[in-house]
Every structure is written in C-alpha cells, then in structure tokens.
Structure 1
Amino acid sequence: MSATLDLSRAHFPVTALGPGRRLGIWFQGCGIRCPGCISADTWGPGRQRTTVAQLVDRAQPWLAEADGVTISGGEPFDQPDALLELLASLRQRSDVDILVYSGHPLEALAPWLARAEGLIDALISEPFEQRAPQTTALRGSDNQRLSLLTALGRARFASFERTLQPDDKVLDLMLDDDGSVWMAGIPRRDDLLRLRNLLRAQGHRLQVSADVASRETRGAPRP
C-alpha cells in the first residue's frame, strides 16, 4: 500500500529552485517553523491528503518533460516514509536530478540519508536564520549548506556554490485551481512585505507568509 502524504502543492515548470525546468513538490506541515520563513502557509497540517502513488501518477506528464525535481515544504523529512517512497518512485520513472530542501541540520539527517543512498542528488539543509546574510545561490540564509550526494548532483549543482548573481534573483508566479496566485523561489528579505504594502496602497489584497505566521502564533484559524 502506498504511503499517505500531506501535500501543499505540485507544480511544473519551476525555474527558480534549481537548474532547468523543474517539477516542484511542496510537502505540507513543518515542526521547525523558522522565524521569517517565506513558506509559513505550509506549516500547518492537511492542505491536501493523497498517496505517493497518486501524486506520482498525477505528475507523470510533467516528469516526462522536467529537467529535474525540487522537493520542499513544509518539511519533507517530517514525513519520512512518504518522502522515501516518493524518492524511490521518482528514481524508477526518471533519470533527472532530485534536489531536496530541509530545515534540519545535516548531521541530524545522516541516519535517514544512509537509508536513501543514491535517491537524493543534492540537499540543502539547516534551518533558515532570519538575521544571517543572504548572499549564496539557492539558499535563504548563508548558514544553509548545499550537499552534493551523487555524481549527478555534483554535475548539476556544483556551480551553485557561489554568491548570488542577477539571474538568481527571480521568482516564479503560479496559479492554483482556486485562482490563488503564489510565488516559488527565494525572495530577498522583506520583498513580499514590500509587495504587499504596495498592492494594499492601491486597493488590492495580498496575504504573505508573515501574515500566516502571525495567525499561527496567535492560534487563529488558518485560511
């Protein structure tokens, strides 16, 4: 029986979280909850409950066209069984690279990574630190580490061990089935708050992750 999975969303193409046109998969639920996280909407439980088999079947047309897969969240390693099955299934169906984001320290993930040897090509680990500099490609704060775990990972991601370049400062705009517009990528500090304030001044409504985090802290219901 396929493992169940709390899923935030899946989207293709994603171009701001790794090289090429990528299948992006966001897990729902995070027990780390770093202050200042840009994905606070993925902290809580149960946006979509599905199975790994259903997700991979749904994503197969995208996977056939993708240059790589990026898995983020939320915290993927908070659902270890589902993550392991997903990685193995993706590996069986495609030879593209797989990048996984985690807020856990690399050392804490080491026992799990030993079980998944060869299934993750590149891993970005460590909690986001709001006060740390943000000058390194693919990372929200410079304390985060890029680990290249396979030959494919080294070939595809070694060039990202560098400072940010102008081409890195991009965000993908995406549309959910309910008409919601959301962004994928790694914005600069307070970019979304500035966008929210600009749109509100023009009479529009924009909810950003900081709003969600504030409600989570107060215990108010999620939208």
Structure 2
Amino acid sequence: MTSAPLHLSRIHFPVRTLGPGKRIGIWFQGCSIRCPGCISMDTWDPRPGRTAVATVLDAIRPWLAEADGITISGGEPFDQPEALLQLVEALRGAQGGDILIYSGHPLEALPLHRFAGLIDAVVADPFDAGAGQTLALRGSDNQRLVPLTVLGRERYGEDARLRPTAETLEIMFDDATGEVFLAGIPRPGDLRRLARLLAAAGHHAVTTEDARQTP
C-alpha cells in the first residue's frame, strides 16, 4: 500500500496530560475550523509539515512498546481523513494501548463508521471559550468525550478516573528549532499570563493563542 501524505505539526513522547498514562502525542497540521480562542493557531495553516504516514510510523516505532496509548490532535485530524485512517489502521496492529482523537468538528459530522474498531475514544465539537472548562480532557464543557470501544469505555467511560483539565500542563522542547511548546489543556488566560510573566522577566514570548473572544 502506498503511504498516504500527511501534514504533521509535531510528535512527542511521553505525553501525560492528554489521556491516561504515558502517551505518544501526534499533532496534525492544518485546521479548517479555527475556533475563536484556540490555543494552537500555529497548527491552522495546512501547508507546512508535509510528510507521509510511513515516516510518522517510523519515527514513533521506538516508543510503541513503552506507550500506554496514543493521542492524535491538531490542527484537525479529520481534515486529513485518508492519512488518519491509514495511520490508525497501522497503530491498531502495532500497540495494545488506546487511541484517543481530538476533533473540533461536531460529533455527528465525523465519519466514525469508517473508523469502527480503530479509535477507542473521541473528543468532539468546536471549542467554545464561553462554555466553561470543568470537564476532564476537554478544552470547553460543550465538547463531548465519547468512548467507542470496550477499551475506550474502560479508560474514558463514566466510571474512569480522569484527570481534571486544570491540573497539569507539560513543557516540551524542540531541540531542532529551539521552540518551547506546552502539551495539555490550559485554563482560560493561562498562556497570556505566562507571556506577561516572561515579559516582566525580560524575555520575549509569543504564544499561539487566538485572541478573538477570549476571556
């Protein structure tokens, strides 16, 4: 099978803030939704990061045995459906952890029938900066966390012990570019507070948060 093209923002391991355990984080590049207040404007442009599914699989292969699961976010993964399908098909056979996918599309608009048995849980619906943020693993309380498999119900169902969204952010470094990025779900205004604190200490900081309609 020919490896599908994929526009990639970044990958990282371990990620502990976007699902249970130590996870491989895969961020797709490109988003057609562009929710007001999004913290990841750097992932909106669909053009950068062109690679292939096979290349991503080669890059994460050393981590698969250690990982408790995989979280795919973006950007918008379902804007690249063929690459996403090929990726999760390969991942399903390569590791025993769960696969969690974040999407800003409404749940009802997702082609989940094409992914039956391949995705364990999905967080869906557009981010709404005015909806509050009290639910685990969600950027805003209107978003739905939906288990799709037995493993998904074990890890993300009503009885699962999920970490509150406001508890943790992880700081990660890109040695190749010198950039610093955060993994997790910050509270409203956290990135702007961080930028102000760094500026007060004499550092130049630029965040990727969209300033429209933010508290």
Normalising to structure 2: TM-score of the pair? 0.93
**Between Structure 1 and Structure 2, which shows a larger proportion of helix residues?**
1
Is the aligned partner of 1:195 residue 2:198? no
Q: CA deviation at 1:159?
A: 5.2
Q: Structure 1, residues 11-65: CA drift from partner, whole Å, max 9, x if none? A: 0000000000000000000000000001111001233211101110111011121
Q: Which residue of 1 aligns with 2:63?
A: 62
- Superposition CA RMSD, Å: 1.7
Is the aligned partner of 1:22 residue 2:20? no
Structure-2 separation of matches of 1:35 and 1:108: 20
Amino acid paired to 2:121: A
Amino acid paired to 2:167: K
Q: Which runs of 5+ in 1 are unaligned?
A: 215-223
**Partner-residue secondary structure (3-state), 1:64:** coil
Equivalent positions of 1:156-195 (< 5 A) are: 156-158=155-157, 165=164, 169-176=167-174, 177-195=176-194
Equivalent positions of 1:62-101 (< 5 A) are: 62-101=63-102
Q: Compared with structure 1, are the counterparts of its residues 159 and 12 closer, same or farther at alpha carbon in structure 2 (3 Å cutoff)?
A: farther
**Partner-residue secondary structure (3-state), 1:54:** helix
Aligned residues between the structures: 209
- Contact 1:138–1:160 under 8 Å retained in 2: no
- Contact 1:136–1:162 under 8 Å retained in 2: no
**Partner-residue secondary structure (3-state), 2:75:** coil
Structure-2 separation of matches of 1:77 and 1:126: 12
- Contact 1:137–1:161 under 8 Å retained in 2: no
**Partner-residue secondary structure (3-state), 2:71:** strand
Amino acid paired to 2:129: Q
Q: Which residue of 2 aligns with 1:147?
A: 146
Q: Which runs of 5+ in 2 are unaligned?
A: none
- Contact 2:154–2:160 under 8 Å retained in 1: no
Equivalent positions of 1:118-137 (< 5 A) are: 118-137=117-136
**Partner-residue secondary structure (3-state), 1:153:** helix
Structure-1 separation of matches of 2:142 and 2:81: 24
Structure-1 separation of matches of 2:161 and 2:205: 33
- Contact 1:87–1:119 under 8 Å retained in 2: yes
Q: Which residue of 2 aligns with 1:44?
A: 45
Amino acid paired to 2:77: P
Amino acid paired to 1:3: A
Structure-1 separation of matches of 2:189 and 2:124: 22
